[in-house]
Amino acid sequence: MPYVNIQVTREGVTREQKARLIDGVTTLLAEVLGKDPNTTFVVIEEVALENWGVGGLPVEAYRARKRPAAT
Amino acid sequence: MPYVNIQVTREGVTREQKARLIDGVTTLLAEVLGKDPNTTFVVIEEVALENWGVGGLPVEAYRARKRPAAT
Amino acid sequence: MPYVNIQVTREGVTREQKARLIDGVTTLLAEVLGKDPNTTFVVIEEVALENWGVGGLPVEAYRARKRPAAT
Amino acid sequence: MPYVNIQVTREGVTREQKARLIDGVTTLLAEVLGKDPNTTFVVIEEVALENWGVGGLPVEAYRARKRPAAT
Amino acid sequence: MPYVNIQVTREGVTREQKARLIDGVTTLLAEVLGKDPNTTFVVIEEVALENWGVGGLPVEAYRARKRPAAT
Amino acid sequence: MPYVNIQVTREGVTREQKARLIDGVTTLLAEVLGKDPNTTFVVIEEVALENWGVGGLPVEAYRARKRPAAT
């Protein structure tokens, strides 16, 4: 009965992408650990860019400093 | 000084229901473990339906597949 | 399908107390929000005293400063 | 720069299985959202059986009630 | 490669304050543990007042009971 | 009444370092947001190296690949 929490920056993740994440993680846990999908929860949290920091900076400032590289 | 995080799907939980959850969990920790309510934090997170997966599917698709059963 | 995470200091919580916490939280979510117990997860995390801080101090130092009051 | 937290019951998950989970989740996020693996964190938490509840019961009691079905 | 999650009540935290939190936590981890800022993630979660409980009450009711003291 | 969760790899963090992290984060929240230290919780979680992944690999394999650089 796994619980998986996925945190990503809020940048237009679509419903279809979310469904693929849910399906992919659930399948992975079934294949690797034999977990029953019916008791596998996946929760996706989308975090505003200004609320996510890396390198001591909010994400946007961090990306700008490194020159725009998709992360 | 417990910290309790409650994650539920975002489906119209009212302020009054939230207050009951906060009160109920705090009382439970006081009764079972003797924890002081003044240092018991309860944080409720409401998760969009499309961000919650079970059975390898977003909640709505999962419920539809099983036929509408309240979950 | 709620997920509840309970964090408490590691101070000899017994199996029986854990079972009461699990039962109590699950019942509360069923009563207040109509959630199905079979899809309610409760995860208890016990945190070492030196890993929990309050008042800017590890718990033990904090309690000593306030004079021993159970928390 | 995703962060993924995987919580499973502590039941002998091997290093090799953990490595597969880490690899699988990271690859999934790269494929679905284009996330850079070098800034994708995966944290696995193994939870003692007595600390995980479902159906209002600790996992072992829950499984016993349903008759031993792998979960 | 630390991951830090900061939960505060949603009460008008500014972008500039968030940037200071991100910078401060990242610097702290570099100074105390020698962690590389480029692999230090800081995620800030702002929680609605009605979703945060303390003393068995939602924050606003708790503050009102104690007489308005900034918390 | 903030709650802060700090996750780091389990690599011999000392009690004194933990106390400095607790103090530093609490002071930061008081300075930046005016939060009362007495209602600021800091929880440190130490994660086994084999349970932390980055770059699609467990930490140790990741570091070995990049050549041993402290992270």
Q: Chain C within 8 Å of A3 (Cβ-Cβ)?
A: yes
At which residue do the structure tokens 């969990």 appear?
B25
Classify domain B3-66 at the CATH superfamily level: Macrophage Migration Inhibitory Factor (3.30.429.10)
For residue F57, the chain D residues in CB contact (below 8 A) are 19, 22-23
Q: HSE, CB side, 13 Å, CA atoms: give it for residue B9.
A: 22
Domain segments of chain B as ranges: 3-66
Q: How far is CA D28 from CA A24, A25, D35, E45, F56, in A?
A: 7, 8, 9, 25, 10
Whether residues B26 and E53 touch (CB distance < 8 A) is answered with yes
Whether residues D43 and F61 touch (CB distance < 8 A) is answered with no
| Test mutation, A3, A22, A40, chain C, max C CBs within 10 A | A3
Q: HSE, CB side, 13 Å, CA atoms: give it for residue E22.
A: 30
Strand C3-9 relative to strand C41-47, pairing: parallel
Q: Chain F within 8 Å of B41 (Cβ-Cβ)?
A: yes
Whether residues C4 and B6 touch (CB distance < 8 A) is answered with yes
pLDDT digits (tens, 9 = 90+) for A58-67: 999 999 998 6
At which residue do the structure tokens 């009102």 appear?
E64
Tokens of E26: 């990242």
pLDDT tens, per residue, chain E with 71 residues: 899 999 999 999 999 999 999 999 999 999 999 999 999 999 999 999 999 999 999 999 999 998 655 55
Which residues sit opposite C14 in a β-bridge? Answer: none
Residue E5 and residue F42 in contact, taking contact as beta carbons nearer than 8 Å: no
Q: Chain F within 8 Å of E3 (Cβ-Cβ)?
A: yes
- Rounded to two decimals, the ipTM of the complex is 0.94
- Across chain D, which has 71 residues, the per-10-residue mean pLDDT values are 97 98 98 97 98 98 78 54
pLDDT digits (tens, 9 = 90+) for E20-35: 999 999 999 999 999 9
